[in-house]
């Protein structure tokens, strides 16, 4: 088994730091990436951190993580969380455990955000703690 955790980020997360800071905070995606790399290193793990605004790219990356025998996949599917059966099917089709993360807590927001398709395949979900949601997910991977 690989020591690499693949961390995938969905649409609009490239705008973190300036996008709706009252919901998502002011931490940038680059800062989240750096913090995840440092946290993984504490556990003797590495991170492959990526972001795409395109659903099919995210599906392809899940397949790549499977082929690479990833330790785990951590995914913040963003808006695709609530709409993408394709991401659900991809997550169900691979062997690395999938962990869902969210900066905010979707269940405290609009009704349409309460449904998580990716959550149906995830072994755990960390939400509502900003950057800490990602770090908690990495700790969970290390404990697997």
Residue among 54, 63, 80, 102 flagged as catalytic: 102
Cβ pair 89, 18 in contact under 8 A: no
Q: Which residues carry a binding-site annotation?
A: 76, 82, 89, 103-104, 113
Q: What CATH superfamily is the domain 4-143?
A: Dehydroquinase, class II (3.40.50.9100)
Tens digit of each residue's pLDDT (9 = 90 or more) over 76-87: 999 999 999 999
Task: Let me know if 24 is a catalytic residue.
Answer: yes
Using the predicted structure, report yes or no on whether residue 22 has a pLDDT greater than 90. no
List the chain domain ranges. Answer: 4-143
Q: Please provide the average confidence, as pLDDT, over all residues in the chain.
A: 94
Q: What pLDDT score was predicted for residue 66? A: 98
Distance between CA atoms of residues 22 and 139, nearest Å:
26
pLDDT in tens, 39-67: 999 999 999 999 999 999 999 999 999 99
Residue 38 has what pLDDT? 98
Q: Is the pTM of the predicted complex or chain greater than 0.85?
A: yes
CA distance 62 to 21: 29
Average pLDDT over residues 108-137: 89
- Measured CA to CA, the distance from residue 58 to residue 90 in angstroms comes to 9
Label residue 54 exposed, middle or buried (CB < 10 Å: 0-12, 13-18, 19+).
exposed
Query: Known catalytic residue: 102?
Result: yes
Amino acid 104: pLDDT? 78
Going by the annotation, the residues of the binding site for substrate are 76, 82, 89, 103-104, 113
Region of residue 32 (left: phi > 0; alpha: psi -120 to 50; beta: else): alpha
Residue 111 in this model has a pLDDT that exceeds 90: no
User: Residue 107 above 80 pLDDT?
Assistant: no
Q: What is the CA radius of gyration of the chain?
A: 14
């Amino acid at each position: 088994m690989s020591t690499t955790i693949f961390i995938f980020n969905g649409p609009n997360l490239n705008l973190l730091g300036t996008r709706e800071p009252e919901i998502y905070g002011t931490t940038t995606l680059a800062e989240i990436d750096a913090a995840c790399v440092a946290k993984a290193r504490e556990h003797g793990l590495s991170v492959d951190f990526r972001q795409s605004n395109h659903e099919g790219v995210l599906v392809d990356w899940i397949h790549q993580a499977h082929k690479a025998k990833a330790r785990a996949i951590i995914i913040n599917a963003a808006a695709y969380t609530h709409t993408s059966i394709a991401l659900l099917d991809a997550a169900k089709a691979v062997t690395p455990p999938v962990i869902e993360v969210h900066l905010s807590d979707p269940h405290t927001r609009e009704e349409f955000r309460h449904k998580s398709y990716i959550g149906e395949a995830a072994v755990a979900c960390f939400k509502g703690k900003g950057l800490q949601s990602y770090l908690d997910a990495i700790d969970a991977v290390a404990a697997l």
